[in-house]
Amino acid sequence: MSLHIRPFKKLLVANRGEIAVRIMRGCRDMGIETVAVYSDADRTAPHVRYADEAYHIGGSLSADSYLVVEKLLNVAKASGAEAIHPGYGFLAERADFAQACYDANLVFVGPPPHAITVMGDKQTARETAKAAGVPIVPGTSPGSTDEQLIAAGHEIGFPLLVKASAGGGGKGMRPVHSADQLESAIAGARREATAAFGDGTVYLEKLIQNGRHIEIQLLSDAHGNSVHFGERECSLQRRHQKLIEEAPSIAVTPETRAQMGAVSTALAKEINYVGVGTIEFLMDNDGSFYFLEMNTRLQVEHPVTELVYGVDLVKEQLKAAMGEPLAWAQEEIVPQGWAIECRINAEDPFSNYMPSTGKLTHIELPTGGGVRVDTGVFAGYEITPYYDPMISKLICYGATRDEAIARTLRALDEYQITGVITNIPFHRHMLHNPDFRSGAFDTSYVEKQFTMDTYERQEQVAAAVAAVLATHNRTGSGSNGQQPTQRQSGRTTWKTFGRA
């Protein structure tokens, strides 16, 4: 075990918003003191209020605050923090930041820099996965010349996908549908990748169409042990922004889960991984799956796994960073029930998901059985263009998928948000959608097959049904003289009719 894995009592959270609060909650549960950092725009933010101490680190632009390594290390030193948690986004997957923490004698709550580097280059990640026995999509070998890429492309067959080695998360990809497009696609992707990442290395993979995005949650300790906490279904996304995630996936059998989990833990061991991590897979209609990439961080959607497996992933991550051995054998890790997460964003689903900024004048959050809300906003909070537009994560649990869906719809109706437009109607519409209900969706579903145009009609049908029921109730025995009125959310509420 290295010097960089050891117990600590005070942690700096190098992040903001809901994830900073989530991490600090885990710390508080464990008796670890917390240090926040904040930008100009975040002076009054919840993560600042929640922390034991908070330090201002600069202007509202991330480049002037949350991304400045030296400022973060200075705060760690000034506050006496012994460890740094990067959260997600910002510096979370920067190997140089992890190394800089080590060099400053701080514990980095995440994997060793080497694991970040290996997985950060998508082609190296692919080769490493292959060597560990993880199925990969047929594709080209590293170090191929253009001539070799073209020859291999013809051999693999079309359609193909040109990918940038330095890309990831969907950046720098180009589909190629026929031989005559191949040369120009390679050249175009190379130009784009050079401009975006300063690295023009590209490779080819067979294009898998109609795939689902399934990811496996990993946890590794610093003693060579790794376990997995099953899968998350993340196919419902738009422009590589996930909107709804669930655990388990309706498309994954226990056998497939065990296979995906086994190859994922093998890969984690291969790279001496420590802490929580995620392997992304593309899954075909026939249940075959292929490695896409590894995310070497805590993810936005980690709560669905927490609910279904009864685990606190932040606490486990902190314990791993302290050098504690894993508390489970794989056989002891069993999913129970179903969890769904909706990302509530300040964006308008009726206007091409255009971002909505402004003051959140009023907010009431759902609560009650089976409902978890992770948020970093409050009434009076200003939604600015500086940070991502996620207002809140709604995570609902049920014994079955149907129960989780019903709870989610109930909770969505409890949200009261004024001042900004939100995507709550998107979530309501999707959760009523027969394709969602039956599990008939893939990564292209939201962009290619889903429309908000039918939203009004469905609301009207619901209102008409409610009106018929109301008439029935008024005329039947036990009538209480109530009639339904339509709320903004489209749900029926009961108002006293006539005398109270």
Task: Return the active site residues.
Answer: 297
Q: Coil, strand, or helix at residue 281?
A: strand
Residue 48 binding ligand MV4, by CB under 6 A: no
Asked if 116 contacts 273 with a C-beta cutoff of 8 angstroms, the reply is no
Residue 244 touches ligand MV4, criterion: CB under 6 A: no
Pick 100 or 207: Cβ nearer ligand MV4: 207
247 to 276, contacts with ligand MV4 by CB under 6 A? none
Evaluate whether 197 touches 173 at the Cβ level (below 8 Å). Answer: no
With contacts defined by CB under 6 A, how many residues of the chain interact with ligand MV4? 17
When the beta carbons of 238 and 407 are compared against ligand MV4, the nearer one is 238
Distance (Å, whole) CA 419 – CA 298: 31
19 binds ligand MV4 (CB under 6 A): no
Cβ distance 207 to 179 under 8 Å? no
34 versus 295: smaller Cβ distance to ligand MV4? 295
Helix (H) or strand (E) holding 219: strand 212-220
Q: Which of residues 443-462 bind ligand MV4 (CB under 6 A)?
A: 443
Binding-residue pattern over the window 128 to 157 for ligand MV4, x denoting contact by CB under 6 A: ---------x--------------------
| Nearer CB in complex with ligand MV4: 241/483 | 241
CB of 174 to ligand MV4, least distance (A): 11
| Residue carrying structure tokens 């995630």 | 245
Q: What six digits make up the tokens of 128? A: 């490493």
* Token pair in block for residue 242: 């996930």
Residue in 93, 192, 205, 341 binding ligand MV4, rule: CB under 6 A? 205
Confirm if 153 and 163 have CB atoms less than 8 A apart: no
Q: Tell which residue, 272, 419, 446, 444, has the closest CA to residue 342.
A: 446
Q: Could you tell me the smallest distance in angstroms from the CB atom of residue 171 to ligand MV4?
A: 8
Helix axes 313-322, 17-30, angle to 10 degrees: 60
> 355: exposed, middle or buried (C-beta count within 10 Å: 0-12, 13-18, 19+)?
middle
Q: How far apart are CA 66 and CA 387, in angstroms?
A: 11
Check binding of 313 to ligand MV4 (CB under 6 A): no
Residues 39-74 as b or e (16 or more Cβ within 10 Å = b): bebbeebbbbebbebbbebbeeebeebbbbeebbbe
208 binds ligand MV4 (CB under 6 A): yes
Stretch that binds ligand MV4, among 206-214, 299-307, 378-386, 465-473 (CB under 6 A): 206-214
Cβ burial, residue 496 (10 Å; 0-12/13-18/19+) = exposed
Helix (H, G, I), strand (E, B) or coil at 484: strand
Q: Which region, judged by CB under 6 A, interacts with ligand MV4, from 200-208, 244-252, 270-278, 427-435?
A: 200-208
**Bridging pattern class, strands 416-418 and 362-364:** antiparallel
Q: Is 439 in the site for ligand MV4 (CB under 6 A)?
A: no
Output 11 or 204, the one with its CB closest to ligand MV4: 204
- Compute the distance between CA of residue 140 and CA of residue 127 in angstroms, rounded to an integer: 10
Please tell me whether residue 282 binds ligand MV4 under the rule CB under 6 A: yes
Among 18, 82, 221, 280, binds ligand MV4 (CB under 6 A): 280
Q: Does 293 bind ligand MV4 (CB under 6 A)?
A: yes
The region of 145-153, 201-209, 253-261, 399-407 touching ligand MV4 under the rule CB under 6 A is: 201-209
Q: How many residues does the chain have?
A: 500
Which residue in 15, 237, 299, 375 binds ligand MV4 (CB under 6 A)?
Answer: 237
Tokens of 98: 């992890």
H or E stretch at 154: helix 146-156
Nearer to ligand MV4, 208 or 424 (CB): 208
Footprint (CB under 6 A) of ligand MV4, residues 340-399: none
Residues that bind ligand MV4 (CB under 6 A): 137, 161, 169-170, 205-208, 211, 213, 237, 240, 280, 282, 292-293, 443
